Amino acid sequence: MEHVFIINPAAGKTDAAAVLVPQITAAGQAMGIAPVIEVTRHPGHAKQIAARYAAAGKPARLYACGGDGTLNEVLQAAAGCPHLSLGCVPCGSGNDYVRNFGTAEDFLDIRAQLAAQPVPLDVLTTTYGLGAAICAAGLDAQVAYAIPRYRRLPGCGGSLSYTFAIVETLFRRMGHELRITLEGPDGHTEAGSYTLLAVCNGQLYGGGYLAAPQARMDDGLLDVLLVPRITRPALLRIIGGYKKGEHIAADGTVRPQYQKYIRVFRAKRVRIEVLDARPLIVTLDGECTPCTAALDIGLLPGQLSALLPPSVIARHAPALQGAPAAAGL
């Protein structure tokens, strides 16, 4: 079994390789493991490295060391590949993937990473590739598109850069004419003007915004949030509660004070058709793409072998004990 750490030195504000390489080497020596270290040299390189291990056909554990974008690159090759498992060492600005399970500290302990256990999780499948957590469109995607400009400012990372990007986006034209088709438990088709929509396998995005508090990454269902056209003052009134996940009650319904603005559904597949002439910005795990026609989103149930450190596994016991999937994740 190979343990391969794929490090993106451009993730976050400092070169992660300078810190991680000695930590990985020391942890490997202490545990009698000889880790392989691969440092990426350009955008898309992590995907290429992961594809090489997928093609080799030998059991390997791939640890994406970077932000959610680095994880997404490795995911493209690891998902659905029976001999690969995917771990994450969070070195980016947002690190939303690991927030679904615990804190960044749970995943920054390299010895804990080497002792991680594989757990099957669902994977988003979209027109623009695979995803781990959330595919969003509209206001959220426009915000994600603006975030990199703010992350370069001193002291402006994570949720702070997300908040600044929201303020910028509020001064731009908001809303798109869309037709949305849901297949599954809440299946239906509707059309109208929408400010925001999020199709969620995981719970968080945008540096810690808790969009779908009840979403689970192992239940074979998508949590879909729709926000029809909304005024700027109303958006400002609800955004704080949306960040904290206060818009969703414990039973999965929208709390009364948010029902005027937010609607939630559960589905197995979602199709979004653009009805106006403006490109719809789509973000998949933080990676942005313009959509001019249609976007299809579905799930590959249990197709990711995700590596979770012992502290995370223990926190979710006894749900995990004797179960093939990470119930409640």
* CATH code of residue 70: 3.40.50.10330
| Residue 12 domain flag | yes
Residue 280 resides in a domain = yes
Domain hosting 178: range is: 130-300
Task: For residues 62 and 151, state if they share a domain.
Answer: no
Q: Are residues 98 and 161 in the same domain?
A: no
Whether residue 139 lies inside any domain: the answer is yes
How are beta strands 117-126 and 134-138 bridged, if at all? Answer: unpaired
- For residues 158 and 271, state if they share a domain: yes
Same domain, 136 and 104: no
Phi, psi angles (nearest 5°) of residue 325: -130, 160
Within 192-280, residue ranges assigned H as helices are 232-244
Examine residue 322 and state whether it is found in any structural domain, yes or no.
no
Residue 94 lies in a domain: yes
Q: For the chain, how many structural domains are there in total?
A: 2
User: Which pLDDT does position 165 carry in this prediction?
Assistant: 72
Q: Is residue 324 part of a domain?
A: no
Question: Count of CB atoms within 10 A of residue 208's CB?
Answer: 15
325 found inside a domain: no
Residue 156 confidence (pLDDT): 66
Q: Are residues 167 and 277 in the same domain?
A: yes
Taking the CA of residue 283 as centre, how many other CA atoms within 13 Å lie in the half-sphere pointing to its CB? 24
pLDDT at 75: 97
Q: Both 272 and 139 in a single domain? A: yes
Region for 62 from its dihedrals, namely left if φ exceeds 0, alpha if ψ lies in -120 to 50, beta otherwise: beta
Q: Residue 68: name the closest of 163, 152, 137, 134 by CA.
A: 134
DSSP, collapsed to helix, strand or coil, labels residue 40 as coil
pLDDT of residue 317: 56
Are 176 and 236 in a shared domain?
Answer: yes
Position 323 in a domain: no
Shared domain for 139 and 288, answered yes or no, is: yes
Strands 222-228, 263-267: pairing is antiparallel
Query: Do both 31 and 177 map to the same domain?
Result: no
Separation between Cα atoms, residue 226 and residue 220, nearest integer Å: 20
pLDDT, residue 318, reads: 42
Is residue 95 located within the same domain as residue 139? no
Residues 63 and 181 placed together within one structural domain of the fold: no
- 10-residue block means of pLDDT along the chain (329 residues)? 94 83 96 96 95 96 94 95 96 85 90 95 96 89 72 65 71 85 97 95 88 94 95 89 95 95 97 92 88 95 95 69 41
Residues 150 and 262 in one domain: yes
